[in-house]
Each structure stands twice: as C-alpha cells, then as structure tokens.
Structure 1
C-alpha cells in the first residue's frame, strides 16, 4: 500500500509540473524585448464569468543577475496569434542586464483581482501560479533604433537612455487620433487611411491582413526619414473629438455611455497596435501615449471621471501590453483642466496608480490648458507621482 501511495504521489507531481508550461521567446539580448507565454485557463475576450481581464491577475517577478526585481503585469493573449479565444497568457519584458535572470509567476483568480495592488488578494490558480525558470541575456548587439539604447529615464532634469546618451524630443502632435486608422480591426469610425504612405512601406517591414498595415507602417517610415523622433497619440477617445480610437471589443455609443463595455479588450486590435508601436521604436520614434481626452464625455466614460474599476483595468492593460517599450511616456489626460476639470488631486491619483503598476518607471505627464507658470506648481512637488 505504501509503494502504491508513493507511486501515486510521484505521478501526480509530474503531471502538475507538465501542466505549468511556459515558453520564453525573443533574442535574449540586453535592451531587446522577450515574451513568456504560459498555458492557462481557456477562455474568451468576451467571457464574463469570470472576465479574463478583470478576474484573473498574472504578475511575473523577474530577478536580475544583480538581484534587482521587476514585478511585471501580464495579460490574456487569446490563442497567442491575435485570436480572441484560447489559453495563452503572456508577459512582455525588457531585460536591462547581461547574465542569468530568473522569473516566477503569480496567477490569482477572484472578483476584480486584476486591479488589486495587494499581492495576496484572490486565490492562487495552479494552471500558472508558481511557474518559474531562467534565461541568459547576452550583451547588446543588433538592436534596431531604441532597442540598441535601453530604457529612457529622467536623469535629474533631462531624458537619458541607459547607454548614457541623451534624448531631445522633437515630434508630431497631430493627428492625435493617429490610431483612428482604418487598417486596425474593429475601427469603424476611422478618421485616417494613410494611403499616401503605402509607398513608404519597405520589404521586411511588418504588416497584417495582406496589406492592411502598410499605410500606417509607411507613415512611421516617412516621419522617421524627416527626423521626427516622437509621436503623440490617443489610445481612448470615446466621447472626445474624433471618437475613433479605443481598445475595447464592443462599443454601444462612441459619444460615451454608461452602457459601454469597458471591461473587455479586443485582442487582435491590441496585437496590431503593438506591431505599430514596436516599429516606431525600431525607427527611433518615442511613444507619447495619451490615455484620455479633455472633453467631459471622455473623462466621464471611465468611472465618471474617477479612479475606479474601469480606469484601473484600462491602465493595467496598457501597461501590461506596452509598458516594455523602452522609449515611452504616459500622459494621463489631454487638457485635464478644460471642460470637466478633474483637478490636481484626482490627476495625481490616476498617475499614482500607473506608477504603482509600471515596473519600468516611465515618465508620467499631464496636459493642461492653463498658463505654464501656475499649471504645474503642485505637480512637481517631491511627493508627486509626476516628479
């Protein structure tokens, strides 16, 4: 009987190890991105009970050779190829040291657990929780554009790359609805076609759906050829000016509505956004990501202009999906003080939540309409998340 019990224990343990499957992909070179894909619960981007975006939380802790730790949020990736149904869960990471790194996954389930900052909230889900491994990162080599320089950070009053060089921003602020592009999935109100830039697309550049991506990729090539090193663009303008950009699966009213489902994300669309952002980084173009607009309807679209479930989940998905890009700036709101003035206190709450979940410490900004000498006075205090 004892032999049988021991045999059963060994078999059960072996099966458990097999089920927690993870795969590391990427060049495994310093300052170049890698992705870890896990096999987890099979679900859909439209599932509600549980909601894969809100009721599961994947965080992966990466430990560097010098023992520095990064807690990086992960995301539901559908089938892993842009499809909205599947069992692939991912985390993106930008290693900044050479040598052997280790990682361990925390995967929790529970109501609204994704937006909680408490590591112990929810219940451990054994399909991924505890998955661990290591990988070795080589010295910088062959990186394109910003992937050869490392993360952009604030060095006192200046923006600087990890390779020691400085960055002077000189970019385009228009069109702010750059992602209101008709080549993206689920963008029926698209304002932009960029057809004039198809000829700027080059062999070897990324694309999707047999040419759908060529115009916007070509547009980035054109901007880069003119020395532009930054683009300013919105990722959610429901209720704003153009009403053509959003990361969600389904919208009832593009003018803004409490009936809109702001808790389910369009996986194929976000994969296409990522392709465009990655190309921008390879072309030496900074991502100035503007998370919201000045119009009242846009501010109210998420939690009535407060830091609630919808806004937190939106911020988390943006950080999880795109936070690994080395040269990126989060702008919490365009014209925070116009129309519906959210005020400095609320603006700081929004920024603080992003700061709490962004392991890379990307620069944070807010856009104002007031005169400069009074607008940023309290935003730049020592305790401000913007500092």
Structure 2
C-alpha cells in the first residue's frame, strides 16, 4: 500500500529491538507541543504498528520506532502540518546482536523473560533522582558503580520532589520563575535519554516512575488536570517507549497522593497501555502502612492493564500470599534500605536487607536493594547515586549467580519439580527434615548466604530424609535433582 512511494529510497538499517530515529523540520511558532499532531504507521508484511512523533524544540520534530521483527519495514507519517505529513521511508531490520534480547516480558506468575525467550530475573536497586542534579561526574560514577554491581534494574523518577532544586525539569520553566505545564523541556529528556542508553549498554532495565506524591506544595505535579496528564504521558511515551529497557511505574507510593482516587490511577494506567505501541511492563507502587499487612492500600493487581505486582512492604515472607492472591510476578521494589538514615525505612543492616531479599526469592518473588547511608556526602545512593558502601551488594551478586544457575521451579507441580530452595534466615536449627519426591534422587548443597560459601553434602537424597546443619544463621539449602 503506502510503501510503493518509498520504492527506490535507501532503507535505514538497524537491528531488531533497536531504535530508529528520523528528524523532520516543521513550525516552531506558537506551542508546537499542543498544536501540531504527528503520527506514523510502520508496516511489516500485513502488520501495522502506529506510533507518535514528538516536538524536540527548535523547529525539529522526531519520529522513533522499535521494530520487533527481522526484515523489511516501511512507514508513512500523518500530521496536521503539511511539512510533516505523508513522509515515507523504509527500514531494513537485521537480527539482534550482543546483549540485545528485546523487551522484558512476563512469562507466568513467577517468571520474566526477554522477547527472545532468555530468562530474566530482576535484581533491582533504587536511584530516584540520580540524573537530575546536573552533575555529570556523579552520574558517570554511578554508571561505573552499576557496571560493577549485581543490579539489572533501577527505579528512577522523571518528576522532582519539592525539596529539590534541579538544573532542568521535564516541563518548561524552573523553580524560581515558575513552570509552564503546557510545554516540555526537550533538553531534560535528551539528557535522560543519554542515561537510558548508558543503562541499556550495561544490560540494566529502567523502571521509570511517572508520578509521585512529593511536591510538598512546590510544583503542583500531584494534581495536574487530566488533559495535562495525558499530554505529559503522550510526550514521555513518544520519546522513551522505543528504548527496549524501559518499564513504566505509574506512581511511587500512589496512595500518599490525596488528590487522586483509584479511578484516576486506573485511567492513567489505561492511558499508558493505550499509548505505548510496544506493551512495556506496567505497574504501580503502594506506600500506606508499609509495616501493617492488613491495612496496606495495595492496588488491585489483577486488573488487566497491570503486568506485575510492584509492592512496598518490610515483611517479604508475604510473597507467597501475594502470589496466591494474584498470579502475576511479585517485585518488592522496597522492603526498606540498608543504611543509617533517621527514618526506619532507611536504617536496616546489610544482613537484614539480604535476609528479606532471600526470603522473597525462595518464595518466587524479587525483592530489591536500596542504600541510604547519609554520611556519603552530597546525598544517599537512593537519591543521587555515586558509590555503594553497604555490605549487601556483593552478597546479592552471590544470590543472583545462584538463582540464575537454578531458580526454584515453583511453577511446576511439587512432584515434578527438580529444584527446591529452603531458606533458614535467622533460625539456627541443628538439622532439617525433608519430604522429597520418591521417584527422583537429589543433591543437597548447604549455602552460607552471608559468607558466600557452597558445600555439597556427599550423599544423595530422596523421599523422607534428614540433613545435619551447623547451627548458624543465614543458611539455605539448594536441593537439585541428579541429572
């Protein structure tokens, strides 16, 4: 159909799940963010993917696209501006290379995979405003720290808190002179996109927090009008959805925002689902009563526009109950932070954080790291990045290596499982009794999760059996079927 006008044009080349970008000249007068519409249709055989372009300032409009299939693609643009309308082009898409495995998807209640089927186990950390402070040296230090860390996912905000004085905002304007919520700041997003590219090259997913309840009477972002919220989401998604390592977190601690109802959050989540042509992962994160299970204001994660559960709670042993209640993966994005903060959410020990992460992992969930040592100078890791000083990261690396070698296969019937994990935590029993499947023979490894040591018991086991233990805390048993 429309590709006939592109015959003879040189095709842009890129790999599958890479990012195509093309710039166009158009009007700069007035408010192009509101007045100019700019979309495109990308065709591969009989399939059409619709995307939105965006205004990048200075009379430049951009179109981005992430192809998900190898072969020839063609595209055509649509606009209410003559210069941007009926622009044609072709793409030639090759197989992905290196660490490019596509987007992270949900496989079942317990698992994530990349688009190519490679398993993905999230080991996350929190870096709320690490790229907001105009400190390139600090950002590069953060990237270097991440490169040497076990973390393959970071939580990060677009909007500032009321106490911040950021060098740039997502919207036009600044703290001193005021913010124009009818226009966006392309320079802010260009800087953010550099950091997204850096994370992508490190194999790290960016869990982007779109809203939060910490305006503190400064910005007014907590109570934007619905049409402004939709314009904001439309612009963010047009710019960022072609990055394969993006997740959407509609809000951090959504229930602390007194200006919004549950219907508002439903609307915003459905808006993201509708506008994102690639179906990136979507969730929302609770805040209320982190220390009280019965009164915690969880979102209803069974709703169809939610892909996984993003939970804040200190007691990660509830992972089993959350999975029973909703058959979507549980990511505990905050279970308190290792640190010395005056706030109780930021002053647990490395041992305790590691215990909570292990407790979630062996139950089929994924609890995240955070660090809040306030003596670092210039802010804590969770707010500014920099370097890590805590004791938990290298032990989380050890955990990640173990789990990527043999995650408990909780998605199988117990009689058919080939990998069991038992975590003993603080308890120090002298022995442990097991009931293993009778028709299989198993090896048992004793794991010291803090000292990072693995010791295999010399015999094999099946059915009803007992293992002797050294009476020490933070031990785990890995039970794997003999091949």
Structure 1 length as normaliser, TM-score? 0.69
Q: Secondary structure at the match of 1:59?
A: strand
Q: Does 1:69 align with 2:48?
A: yes
Q: What is residue 225 of structure 1 aligned with on the other side? A: 148
Aligned pairs, number: 297
8 Å contact 2:172–2:179 — kept in the other structure? no
Deviations 1:122-166 (A, max 9, x none): xxx22111212222111223x4x4xx1011222233321111012
Q: CA deviation at 1:77?
A: 2.1
Q: Taking structure 1 as reference, are residues 369 and 269 closer, same or farther at Cα in structure 2, changes over 3 Å only?
A: closer
Equivalent residue for 2:223, pick from 305, 314, 318:
305
Q: What is residue 163 of structure 1 aligned with on the other side? A: 116
Q: What is residue 85 of structure 2 aligned with on the other side? A: 129
In structure 2, the gaps of 5 or more residues are 309-483
Q: Which has the higher strand share?
A: 2
Q: Does 1:360 align with 2:332?
A: no
Q: Taking structure 1 as reference, are residues 243 and 232 closer, same or farther at Cα in structure 2, changes over 3 Å only?
A: farther
- Report the Cα distance in structure 2 between the residues aligned to 1:327 and 1:298, rounded to whole angstroms: 33
Q: CA deviation at 1:309?
A: 2.5
Equivalent residue for 1:34, pick from 20, 45, 54:
20
Q: What is residue 9 of structure 1 aligned with on the other side? A: none
Q: Any residues of structure 2 matched to 1:234-273 within 5 Å, and which? A: 234-239=157-162, 241-242=163-164, 244=166, 246-252=169-175, 260-273=179-192
8 Å contact 2:273–2:305 — kept in the other structure? no
- Report the Cα distance in structure 2 between the residues aligned to 1:382 and 1:337, rounded to whole angstroms: 17
* Aligned CA-pair RMSD: 2.9
8 Å contact 1:289–1:329 — kept in the other structure? yes
- Highest relative contact order (Cα 8 Å, sep 6+), 1 or 2? 1
Q: Taking structure 1 as reference, are residues 376 and 166 closer, same or farther at Cα in structure 2, changes over 3 Å only?
A: farther
8 Å contact 2:165–2:175 — kept in the other structure? no
- Report the Cα distance in structure 1 between the residues aligned to 2:301 and 2:50, rounded to whole angstroms: 26
Structure 2 length as normaliser, TM-score? 0.56
Q: Taking structure 1 as reference, are residues 358 and 216 closer, same or farther at Cα in structure 2, changes over 3 Å only?
A: same
Q: Secondary structure at the match of 1:180?
A: coil
Deviates more, 1:51-60 or 1:153-162: 153-162
Q: Taking structure 1 as reference, are residues 386 and 230 closer, same or farther at Cα in structure 2, changes over 3 Å only?
A: closer
After TM superposition, the runs of 4+ consecutive aligned structure 1 residues lying more than 4 A away are 22-25, 296-300, 371-378, 382-387
Q: Taking structure 1 as reference, are residues 374 and 132 closer, same or farther at Cα in structure 2, changes over 3 Å only?
A: farther
8 Å contact 1:238–1:301 — kept in the other structure? no
Q: What is residue 381 of structure 1 aligned with on the other side? A: 302
Q: What is residue 322 of structure 2 aligned with on the other side? A: none
- Report the Cα distance in structure 1 between the residues aligned to 2:300 and 2:107, rounded to whole angstroms: 18
In structure 1, the gaps of 5 or more residues are 1-16, 79-84, 109-124, 184-212
